[in-house]
Structure 1
Amino acid sequence: MPHSNSPFFAPAWLSLGQLTPTPDALTLDWLFDQGSLTRRLTRLSEDGFSVTPLFEGWQPLRADECAALDLAQGSEGWVREVYLRGHGEPWVFARSVAARSALQGDGLHMDELGSRSLGELLFCDQAFQRRAIEVCHYPQDWLPSEAREPELWGRRSRFDRGALSVLVAEIFLPTLWRAARAHPETC
C-alpha cells in the first residue's frame, strides 16, 4: 500500500523566490542542489548508501502529481516509494511517479529497479532534462508511519525525455540533517 495517497490536503509547491521565510543555508543548499542526490548521499555516507523499496505499482496519481505531469485528474501511473539510506538509517523518503501512457514502450522499466537508485539512472541518461525544483513542507500523512513528522522539507522536480516525464519527490528526514551537520565537509 502506498503511503502518499491522501486526497485531503495538497501542499503548495514553491520555487526559491516564493519561500518566506527562507530556510537556513544548509537546508537551502540541500533543497535546491541541482546535482544527483544519490551521489551526494553516497559522499555523505562514505559509500554507506543504499535504497530500500517500500512500494512499487500502478495506481491513480494524486491531483498535485497529475497537475505537475500535465495529466488529466485521476490518471493512472507507476508509483515507486523508497527510503534512501545512509549507514542503514533512512535519510530521505522518495516518491517517483510516471504516467502509464508515457511509460509504455519507453524502455525505462521503472518496475525493474529494485534496490537501484532511479535518480542515478535519470542523471546518467543525458536525454533527460530536469525542470525547476519546487519545495514544500511535505504532508506528514503522505509519509510512511515510522517517518511521520510535521514540517519536513520536501522537494520535487520533473525529468523529461521525449514523451516520458518522471516526477521525483524527495523528503529530507531528521536523520539526514543530523548527518549533514555532523559532517559538513562531506556534503
Structure 2
Amino acid sequence: MGIADRWGLRAWLSAPGSLSKRLAATGRRYEVQVLRQTVAPLRLQERAALGLPPRGLTVVREVLLRVDGVPLVWARSAVHGDSLKGPWKAVNGLGSRPLGHLLYDDPRIHRSELRPRRVTRHGATWLQMAAQWREATGEDPPAMMQWSRNSVFTRHGKQLRVMELFVPDVALRDPGPIRRKTRARR
C-alpha cells in the first residue's frame, strides 16, 4: 500500500467504526447524496464477498459523501434482495441518511475485517463512479482516486457489502478523536 501511505490514506483505509462520523468530524456539514438505488447485477468481488448464488435480485445503493459541500468518498453498498425482507429491510428507507446509522447502532451487526484495494481506472467500478461523479459535480473525479476499502456486515446470517472509494485529499482532513457512543448496561 505504498502509494496510499504516500498520500496518508492508510489511516482512512483502516479506520474502524463509522466512516460517516469520521468524515463529519472534519467539517461543519456532512451530507449523503444518493446517486442511485436500484436492482443491479452484482460485480464479481461483491458476489465473492457475499457468497451469493448466481441468480437473484440485488439492491445496490451508490452515494457521494460530502463535507461542507466537497465530495470526498464515493460508496457502493450491495445486498441480496432476499435480505431486504429480513434483517436489512431498513436499507430501503434510508434515503439520504448515512448507512452508518443503521450499521453501528445495532450490536447484532458484525463487520468483517477492512480490506484495502486499489481500483483500476479502466474497471467497471471506477468507470461507474466516474460517470456518476461527473453527473453529480459537473467535473471529472480526481485521477488518483483509486484507493478503496471493502467490508461485509452480517446480521442474522445475512450480509451487506460496502465499498468506499476515497478522494486522495481526504488524507488532509484530521477528524481528531472520535467520541464513541457508550451503551447503557441493562
Give the whole-Å Cα distance in 2 for the aligned partners of 1:160 and 1:107. Answer: 9
- Asked if structure 1 preserves the Cα contact closer than 8 Å seen for 2:145 and 2:168, the reply is no
Equivalent of 1:144 in 130, 133, 146: 130
The C-alpha deviation readout for 1:68-121, integer Å capped at 9, x for no partner, is 000123543110000110001111001001011222233532121111000221
The Cα RMSD (Å) is 2.3
The C-alpha deviation readout for 1:26-84, integer Å capped at 9, x for no partner, is 31111011121111111111x31110000001111111101100012354311000011
- Asked if structure 2 preserves the Cα contact closer than 8 Å seen for 1:57 and 1:111, the reply is no
Q: Which residue of 2 aligns with 1:79?
A: 60
* TM-score, normalised by the number of residues in structure 1: 0.78
Give the whole-Å Cα distance in 1 for the aligned partners of 2:142 and 2:20. Answer: 22
The C-alpha deviation readout for 1:124-145, integer Å capped at 9, x for no partner, is 1111000011111123223132
Q: Which residue of 2 aligns with 1:12?
A: none
Distance 1:39 1:73, change over 3 A: same
Give the whole-Å Cα distance in 2 for the aligned partners of 1:109 and 1:43. Answer: 25
The C-alpha deviation readout for 1:6-35, integer Å capped at 9, x for no partner, is xxxxxxxxxxxxx46772483111101112
Distance 1:184 1:103, change over 3 A: closer
| Count of residue pairs the alignment pairs up | 165
- Asked if structure 2 preserves the Cα contact closer than 8 Å seen for 1:63 and 1:73, the reply is no
- Asked if structure 2 preserves the Cα contact closer than 8 Å seen for 1:66 and 1:75, the reply is no
Distance 1:93 1:75, change over 3 A: same
Q: Which residue of 2 aligns with 1:34?
A: 16
Give the whole-Å Cα distance in 1 for the aligned partners of 2:80 and 2:11. Answer: 30
Q: Which residue of 2 aligns with 1:113?
A: 94
Q: Which residue of 2 aligns with 1:130?
A: 111
2:21 partner amino acid: R
Structure 1, unaligned runs of 5 or more: 1-18
Distance 1:138 1:107, change over 3 A: closer
Distance 1:136 1:150, change over 3 A: same
SS at match of 1:166: strand
SS at match of 2:9: helix
- Asked if structure 2 preserves the Cα contact closer than 8 Å seen for 1:154 and 1:171, the reply is yes
Give the whole-Å Cα distance in 1 for the aligned partners of 2:23 and 2:4. Answer: 23
- Asked if structure 1 preserves the Cα contact closer than 8 Å seen for 2:25 and 2:176, the reply is no
Q: Which residue of 1 aligns with 2:147?
A: 153
Deviation of residue 185 (structure 1)? 4.7
